[in-house]
Amino acid sequence: MSPQRKTKRYRRAFSIGHWLMAGGFIALLIAGQQFNFDLTDAYRARGLKLHSSLGAIVLFTALTLMIRRWIYKEPRPEADLPPLKKLAATSVQLLLYALAVFIPLSGLATALFSPTPTLLFGAINLSQLAGDPELYARIRSIHETGTWLAMLMIGAHGGAALYHHFILKDDVLTSMLDVRKIKQWIAAKQASRRSSESGLKAPD
């Protein structure tokens, strides 16, 4: 286990993993709200198949990032923050990591007792313990409580990142998102499109 090295930006692989986890996590939280409505059995089964599969991917990604961060000591930038703000930021990050593990696991536990068959990746039937509606309702309630807490934490985390980028104008957001390379990529695409358009307009 090597000591953690200092850097201005996260490595690309870690950054990609972070955004994949974030995107999948947000998609899970939003799409999961549909199961509170009156759905047909067929639609609910299809939705649960996709929901559980995405949850498993988010869980795997979260665990991978946690291993890279705390076991392999992924190089990470240190923001110049006052002690209380640094404590708050670290607490929110740790809670989000915990929720990224807890919510998929509690969702898989919910699927075990679900009266609707839940096929993980369309192949593995997770609903092996269906038949206890009361226990199913309790586990589902715990799962939903975690999702609401995650929404609050994601809002706080995202809001803080935008505050740092647009108000404080520091490198907190760009340490995880290489804005310079994104701008270069967009500029290259625009230049390529202009070149193609000028080629089409060229006289024979």
Where do the DSSP E strands lie in the chain? 119-120, 124-125
**pLDDT at res. 188:** 82
**pLDDT at res. 5:** 58
pLDDT tens sequence for the chain (204 residues):
445 556 778 888 999 999 999 999 999 999 999 998 999 999 999 999 999 999 999 999 999 999 999 999 888 887 778 899 889 999 999 999 999 999 999 999 999 999 999 999 999 999 999 989 999 999 999 999 999 999 999 999 999 999 988 998 888 888 888 766 777 778 888 888 887 777 666 555
- CATH architecture under which domain 12-177 falls: Up-down Bundle (1.20)
Task: Please report, for the chain, the start and end positions of each structural domain, with discontinuous segments joined by +.
Answer: 12-177
Query: What's the whole-model pTM score?
Result: 0.82
**pLDDT at res. 84:** 92
**pLDDT at res. 3:** 52
